[in-house]
Amino acid sequence: MSEPRLLPVWAEDLRRRYLRGEASMFVLHGNVYDVVLCNKKMIALTEFLTDVLLKESKETIAVYNVATGVRFTKSANNVTSLEDLLLASEKDRVFAALERLLVGSTKTAVIMEYAEAIAPAGDPNFQGESDRAAIVTLHRWSALPEIERGDNVVLLIAENMTELAPKLISNPKVAVVEVPMPDHDTRREAAMLADPRLTQKDGERYAGITAGLKAIQISSILTPPPAIEEESAEREAYIAGLLGSAPDAAGRAHKLAALTSNLSREEIKELVAPTAATPLPDAPLPSPAERARKETDRLIAHRKREIIERECFGLVEFVEPAHGFDVVGGMEEVKKDLLVIAESIREGRTSRVPMGILFTGPMGTGKTFVAEAFAKECGLTTIKLKNFRSKWVGATEGNLEKILNVIKAIGQVVVIIDEGDRAFGNTDGEGDGGTSSRVIARIKEFMSDTSNRGRILFLVMTNRPDKLDVDLKRAGRLDRKIPFLYVQTPAEVELVAGALLRKNKIKTDVDLVTMRDGFSSKLVGYSNADIEAVLLLANEDAARETGGDAPVLASHFLRAASDYFPSRDAELLEYMELLAVFETSSRRLLPAKYASMTSEDLDARLRQLRAIVGGRR
């Protein structure tokens, strides 16, 4: 007996659901433009379907897309009139011929590539007649008893399910199967297939650091260079040794290595430097595997970032924070809580990690700055969601689905969403065809998946938490809510100012405590951004007065504190502060004046301010 064939999990699921008679039409979506690893080979999805999954069970296999028409990878002897399919290019003629094939034959499979171009999503009133006809035809096929009785199957392939006609997706007779991004084992296998010289330890390491990449991308990065390139590198190192410390030795060695490809080492030495001693390497040349490892480690972070940002169409941005909590002044309780979370993430104690964190407070209180510092402290890959909303029908949901698939594939990631109230849209969905409500529903579904705890941490920031969906803020989605308020005491001003002096590398020998009355006390109630503006103003004052490298004196700080005039809406800022206080998950994080407020007093003041400033931004 032959060995049992091992199929990917998604393919085994498709096979099992088909054998149970669940459906005769399937939609494959997700990572459909990647290769499939099967029998220690990498093959394209369509090739996997035709040559592996369907080869033994189907006698006729047709593949169709709108660009190349129909082609047959396999056909039964008793199937006639195939010329109609091969010659037809118009969609209606192709569908009519395919229907005759499916109804009049048995054990037939039809694979439709780029299904979103065949039956696209959108308002039927604005679609062409051929698109509407294709959608109706496919919907009708899913319920045709002749197709099911003939042991026939139709497979639609679309990367993004939201780009496919909703009439098909919502059809209970159409089964949907997701082709996932490569998991850890698949990435390890792809690495080992790309470079057989890798050890098991190297394979495990590359499986970890390539999370979020497709198998074909992993292969392109890890495939070793041709032997001729390795020989060129060795020849270049030999010529560089002959030239020694001569001017521009590295550049000349690179050019000479290309020109001397057919010469022996003795001939190269005679041509380049006949009087030079034969160079003895300080250490043996690294093996091809070692050179591949060094080159890959250098490229993989850059390529991973480039590939994922490109695949997400600029919808996400990788964050590379340059600072940790050492440059965050004040907020000791907040930093202590966040450090515990960061340590729990690093050590894998998932039960102590919240599903999500909400940073809320007025603008300029350092929410983004602290979020980036936290990302550096926990050491996880950090991405920031950019504007994924679009004016085109279905595009917003498609963009979001693409982002969530990438986030899920990366794992061990912090997702920063700035201005969350704007990113998620209005909660009632009025004026946008219900897009916002669908976006929020999908995000809530993803954020409440407990299998993501400790792997995917959402960090949402907003100064208007009242505009966020209430269900989004509940425990189990945004468990921890941290208030960011303006500094309340002169001592807090001094802590923040000290951290900002270090961050901006401002030269000064002044102890801010010694001028508390004229400096710190005047800045109580100011935002961190305002305090930074005052310090920069003092630095500019010192440069004008005594030169660019001169240290900032006490007089400069005092003058800047008196001169600075912040632009602010006091009532709106107080409203934002009280919203942050109202949302906080722990009174321990509040300053004394707010921690002692009763819920009734807080609610009464919020109602009063909401009537005044509720519509302002």
pLDDT in tens, 285-327: 455 455 555 666 666 767 777 777 776 766 778 887 777 887 7
Phi and psi angles of residue 348, each rounded to the nearest 5 degrees, phi first: 75, 20
The whole-number average pLDDT for the span 80-89 is 69
Tell me which of 37-46, 158-167, 428-437 is least confident. Answer: 428-437
Residue 541 and residue 492: Cα distance in Å, rounded?
A: 24
Tell me which of 145-154, 198-207, 295-304 is least confident. Answer: 295-304
DSSP 8-state class, residue 49: I
Q: How confident is the model at residue 230 (pLDDT cuts 50, 70, 90)?
A: low
Instruction: Tell me the three state secondary structure of residue 561.
Output: helix
Q: How many CB atoms lie within 10 A of CB 196?
A: 8
Q: What is the bridge-based pairing of β-strands 413-417 and 356-360?
A: unpaired
Q: Look up residue 534 and give its two tokens.
A: 């005052």
In whole angstroms, what separates CA 273 from the centre of its chain? 52
299 CB contacts (<8 Å, ≥6 apart)?
A: 221
Mean pLDDT of the chain: 82
* 68 vs 303, higher pLDDT: 68
* 595 vs 10, higher pLDDT: 10
Residue 466 and residue 449: Cα distance in Å, rounded?
A: 24
Q: How confident is the model at residue 391 (pLDDT cuts 50, 70, 90)?
A: low
What's the pLDDT at 137? 94
* 28 vs 311, higher pLDDT: 28
Dihedral angle, C-alpha 536, 539, 541, 546, nearest 10 °: -170
Which has the closest alpha carbon to 105: 82, 123, 138, 124?
82
Q: If phi over 0 gives left and psi between -120 and 50 gives alpha, with beta otherwise, what is residue 345?
A: alpha
Residue 415 and residue 375: Cα distance in Å, rounded?
A: 9
What are the C-alpha distances in Å from 282 to residues 237, 238, 279, 285, 303? Answer: 12, 12, 9, 9, 32
Start-end of H helices in 313-366? 332-346
For 9-180, CATH number? 3.40.50.300
Residue 414 and residue 92: Cα distance in Å, rounded?
A: 48
What's the pLDDT at 4? 46
CB–CB of 512/521 below 8 Å? no
Kindly provide the b/e burial profile for residues 267-296, where b requires at least 16 CB atoms within 10 angstroms of the residue's own CB. ebbeebbeeeeebeeeeeeeeeeebbbeeb
Dihedral angle, C-alpha 176, 181, 186, 192, nearest 10 °: 140
Q: Is the pLDDT of residue 473 over 50?
A: yes
What's the pLDDT at 287? 52
> Counting every residue, how long is the chain?
617
pLDDT, tens digit, for every residue of 517-541?
A: 889 888 888 888 888 899 999 888 8
Q: Is the pLDDT of residue 2 over 50?
A: no
In whole angstroms, what separates CA 198 from the centre of its chain? 28
- The kind and range of the H/E element at 602 are helix 599-613
Q: How confident is the model at residue 336 (pLDDT cuts 50, 70, 90)?
A: confident
pLDDT, tens digit, for every residue of 107-119?
A: 999 999 999 999 9
Residue 587 and residue 599: Cα distance in Å, rounded?
A: 12
Q: What is the bridge-based pairing of β-strands 108-112 and 60-65?
A: parallel
Which has the closest alpha carbon to 30: 158, 217, 182, 189?
158
Residue 331 and residue 272: Cα distance in Å, rounded?
A: 65
CB–CB of 370/328 below 8 Å? yes
Relative orientation angle of helices 528-546 and 490-504, to the nearest 10 degrees: 60
Residue 569 and residue 364: Cα distance in Å, rounded?
A: 13
Residue 171 and residue 43: Cα distance in Å, rounded?
A: 31
What's the predicted TM-score (pTM) here? 0.65
Residue 167, burial from CB neighbour count under 10 angstroms (0-12, 13-18, 19+):
middle
CA atoms within 13 A on the CB side of 387: 5
Residue 356 and residue 461: Cα distance in Å, rounded?
A: 11
CB–CB of 564/537 below 8 Å? yes
CB–CB of 189/37 below 8 Å? yes
Instruction: Using alpha carbons only, give the angle 25, 28, 29 rounded to the nearest 5 degrees.
Output: 145
DSSP 8-state class, residue 564: -
Phi and psi angles of residue 64, each rounded to the nearest 5 degrees, phi first: -135, 135
Lookup result for tokens 């995917």 = 456
DSSP string, 11-72: HHHHHHHHHTTS-SEEEEEESTTSEEEETTEEEEHHHHIIIIISTTT-SEEEEEETTTEEEE
Residue 588, burial from CB neighbour count under 10 angstroms (0-12, 13-18, 19+):
exposed
Superfamily of domain 313-483: P-loop containing nucleotide triphosphate hydrolases (3.40.50.300)
Tell me which of 251-260, 275-284, 572-581 is least confident. Answer: 275-284
Q: Look up residue 275 and give its two tokens.
A: 């009087």
Gyration radius from the chain CA atoms = 32
Q: Say which amino acid occupies 426.
A: N
* 306 vs 452, higher pLDDT: 452
Phi and psi angles of residue 77, each rounded to the nearest 5 degrees, phi first: -65, -30
